Amino acid sequence: MQVSSNWLTTYSNSNWRENNFLQSNTSISQNDNNTLVADNSSKTSNNSTENRDDNTKPKSINELDSEEKTLLAQLQASDSKVRAHESAHLSAAAGIAAGGASFTYERGPDGRMYAVAGEVPISISEGKDPQDTLEKMRQVEAAAMAPADPSPQDHAVAASARSGELKALMDLQKEKSEIQREEGLKQYSSTALQPIEQRNSLSITA
């Protein structure tokens, strides 16, 4: 079995023009391949940037009006937050990340591109044994919750990892019980094969 998870943190800028602030907007769905995916409401941000009014030209900070300066500050804060968030995921996911972080960008009034959403893909197969699987799932959970502000999708991935941990623990217990049963059978067989007179002999010490 292979579990593929996308850790997606979304800082949606879809309403900033009306509300003048950036908000978190993440929803979770699951497809037929058991892949956890967050629907990113900011995925159209690049297109919206391309379709912006051609009259909007890059400006220096001194040319920005108060509204543009507020927007710029929000985009700069979003960029820092998104990058720090995904960096925390990557640092904790060493060895299990299927790739680097990818970002969705929005062009600011100063002409620069700012990250408004980020994604770190994680692909994990079961380990060679239950103990290996347990260790991997624990790392997934730790990596999902690594940022200071885990998103709803991060919590969902962590919950999925915990389910994998429980299954691995059950498999470990099953293996342990099977080993104990086999050892018990070996001991019984060893005793049963002894000569009857040897098993019934008494040791008398004067």
The whole-angstrom separation of Cα 16 and Cα 68 is: 11
Positive or negative: CA dihedral 14, 15, 20, 26: negative
Which pLDDT belongs to residue 196? 55
φ/ψ (deg, to 5) at 17:
-65, -35
Which pLDDT belongs to residue 136? 93
Task: Answer yes or no: pTM beyond 0.85.
Answer: no
Which pLDDT belongs to residue 104? 97
Residue 94 burial (10 A CB sphere; 0-12, 13-18, 19+)? exposed
**Mean pLDDT per 10-residue interval, the chain, length 206 residues:** 40 35 32 37 40 57 89 96 96 91 96 95 82 93 94 92 94 90 74 59 55
Amino acid identity, position 4: S
Residue 86 burial (10 A CB sphere; 0-12, 13-18, 19+)? buried
Which pLDDT belongs to residue 41? 36
